[in-house]
Amino acid sequence: MTITLITGSNTGLGFEAARRLVALGHTVYLTARDPEKGRVAAVALGARFVQLDVTDDASVTRAA
């Protein structure tokens, strides 16, 4: 199956996209700036969490 990384996916459209992909059996890496909110969302969906702020180069490097 596909591995997908979705930015800003602890709420809204990103969360829904992650939910649907997990339901289809995909491996989903859910990202969020706030680690607590991101972990809660990942656990709720059965996804994996990566802390990421796409506006911060150091954060992008850590996530990679």
- Please state, for a pLDDT cut of 70, what percent of the chain lies above it: 100
CB atoms < 10 A from the CB of 32, how many?
25
DSSP state, 11?
Answer: S
Can you tell me the distance from the alpha carbon of 39 to that of 52, in angstroms, rounded to the nearest whole number? 12
- Residue 56's pLDDT is 95
pLDDT of 39 > 80? The answer is: yes
Average of pLDDT values for 18-46? 97
Per-residue pLDDT band at 1 (split at 50, 70, 90): confident
- For 36, residues 6+ apart whose C-beta sits below 8 A from its C-beta are none
Q: 3-63: which CATH number, 3.60.10.10, 3.10.105.10, 3.40.50.720, 3.40.50.300? A: 3.40.50.720
